[in-house]
């Protein structure tokens, strides 16, 4: 698995739209344990 780090944008606008995230179904096991992220319905696109 390859993980890419994306730099922060110089400028960013927030639209005010929030999402309820209950966890990720395909998050790497090591990171999920390290950051206490549950395995649930959201999926990361790589």
**Model pLDDT for residues 1-29, shown as the tens digit of each residue:** 787 777 787 788 888 899 888 889 998 88
Please report where in the chains the tokens 């998050």 appear, as a residue: 27
- Provide the pLDDT for residue 12: 80
Tokens found for residue 8? 């922060």
Please report where in the chains the tokens 């730099």 appear, as a residue: 7
- Provide the pLDDT for residue 4: 77
Query: What global pTM score does this model have?
Result: 0.50
Distance of CA 31 to the CA centre of its chain: 11
41, 23 in Cβ contact below 8 A? yes
> How many structural domains compose the chain?
1
Range of the domain at 35: 1-46
């Amino acid at each position: 698995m390859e993980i890419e780090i994306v730099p922060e944008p110089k400028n960013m606008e927030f639209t005010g739209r929030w999402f309820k995230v209950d966890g990720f179904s395909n998050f790497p096991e090591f990171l999920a344990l390290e950051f206490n992220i549950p395995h649930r319905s959201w999926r990361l696109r790589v």
